């Protein structure tokens, strides 16, 4: 289990994380979401002991990263796929990492095999494509067979085949009971892979829950088609709803739910040809949740400029 406990981190005058706290439960895939610049990578770096927070701390199974004596056996991380000396071969990079934590050579070959890099293991990493580098990064993360895995924006820059591969890897790792924290700024990706998500914005905790919980909590619009949209819109407005033009001559109704819209239509004797609750996509929820956080960003930016 990963615990981030009241972490505040600033770089000079820039506040990256403000009093951020959350827990990542064991054995599931947790999505870590936020717009660009919201502090996801900083959080990962604090968990990994690379950056020291001014306040608070982050622990993995009760210990800070620096307290781990053989960290690769407990935590595997892919923070930046390109953080390998470009002149070193993939196999030698793994060997160097393995030697630091008493991991065998055969394990290096095993993980290379798992990520499908055996054929290019002796090539210089500088010649690798981004997809190959990501695979190598995952090999490094898996080297010590750790129970906790961190991935920072693992699908950035990958082609569809690479994305599908990485998704499958996550699923198989989760099926083995590992704890996985995956950051992303793409909600839709998390809807496919994560059991639950933690949302942050502007360095602060916003919300957490399963994907279903988050979408259910969000406001739902209603899409309605009728023989007389003008009269229906007037009735809806009178009842406190807000209408806008929907696709294909439909009305998009906010604030009121489908049942209320149906009753209004009945009262006004307007025949409906369609009445559909529009389930908010995770993307919409995300935009809604982080809107204030991003607004805050630009206003402070303007104030300090």
Partner 1 sequence: MRSEWVKFRTVRSTPIGFAVMVLLTIGLGVLITFAIRSHWHTMDPVARFAFDPVSTSLAGTLFAQFAIGVIGILFITSEYASGSIRATLAAIPQRWRVVVAKVLVLGVTTLVVSEVVVLAAFLIGQRIYAGVVPTASLGGPGVARSVILGGAYLALLALFGLGLGLIIRHQSAAISVYTSLLLIVPIIVIFLPSSWQNVVARYEPSALGRAMMSVSPSANMFSAWPATTVLAIYVVVILIVATVLIERRDA
Interface residues with partner 1 (CB under 8 A)? 11, 45, 48-52, 65-66, 68, 71-72, 75, 77, 79-80, 82-89, 92-93, 95-101, 140
* Residue 54 or 210 having the CB closest to partner 1: 54
DSSP 158: -
* Residue 63 or 267 having the CB closest to partner 1: 63
Beta carbon of residue 296, minimum distance to partner 1 (angstroms, whole number): 25
Beta carbon of residue 99, minimum distance to partner 1 (angstroms, whole number): 4
Closest CA to 215 of 278, 279, 293: 279
* Residue 87 or 249 having the CB closest to partner 1: 87
Beta carbon of residue 171, minimum distance to partner 1 (angstroms, whole number): 24
| Dihedral angle of Cα 66, 71, 76, 80, to the nearest 10 degrees | 50
d(C-alpha 193, C-alpha 171), whole Å: 7
Beta carbon of residue 127, minimum distance to partner 1 (angstroms, whole number): 13
Residues 118 and 139 sit within 8 Å (Cβ to Cβ): no
For 26, other C-beta atoms within 10 Å of its C-beta total 14
Beta carbon of residue 148, minimum distance to partner 1 (angstroms, whole number): 12
* Residue 63 or 164 having the CB closest to partner 1: 63
d(C-alpha 76, C-alpha 50), whole Å: 14
* Residue 75 or 147 having the CB closest to partner 1: 75
Residues 202 and 291 sit within 8 Å (Cβ to Cβ): no
């Amino acid at each position: 289990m990963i615990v981030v406990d009241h972490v505040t981190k600033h770089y000079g005058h820039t506040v990256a994380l403000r009093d951020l706290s959350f827990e990542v439960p064991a054995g599931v895939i947790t999505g870590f979401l936020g717009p660009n610049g919201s502090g996801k990578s900083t959080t990962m770096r604090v968990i990994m002991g690379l950056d020291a927070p001014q306040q608070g701390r982050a622990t993995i199974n009760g210990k800070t990263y620096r307290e781990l004596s053989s960290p690769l056996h407990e935590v595997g991380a892919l923070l930046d796929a390109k953080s390998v000396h470009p002149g070193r071969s993939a196999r030698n990079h793994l060997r160097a990492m393995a030697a630091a934590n008493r991991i065998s050579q055969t394990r290096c070959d095993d993980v290379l095999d798992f990520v499908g890099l055996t054929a290019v293991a002796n090539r210089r990493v500088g010649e690798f494509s981004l997809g190959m580098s990501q695979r190598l990064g995952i090999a490094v993360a898996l080297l010590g067979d750790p129970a906790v895995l961190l991935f920072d924006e693992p699908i950035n820059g990958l082609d569809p085949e690479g994305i599908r591969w990485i998704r499958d890897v996550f699923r198989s790792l989760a099926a083995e009971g590992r704890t996985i924290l995956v950051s992303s700024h793409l909600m839709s990706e998390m809807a496919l892979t994560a059991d639950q998500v933690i949302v942050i914005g502007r360095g602060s905790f916003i919300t957490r829950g399963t994907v279903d919980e988050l979408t259910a909590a969000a406001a739902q619009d209603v899409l309605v088609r009728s023989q007389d949209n003008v009269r229906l819109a007037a009735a809806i407005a009178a009842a406190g709803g807000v209408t806008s033009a929907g696709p294909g001559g439909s009305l998009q109704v906010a604030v009121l739910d489908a049942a209320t819209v149906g009753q209004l239509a009945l009262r006004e004797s307007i025949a409906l040809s369609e009445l559909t609750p529009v389930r908010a996509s995770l993307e919409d929820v995300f935009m809604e949740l982080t809107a204030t956080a991003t607004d805050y960003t630009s206003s402070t930016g303007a104030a300090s400029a």
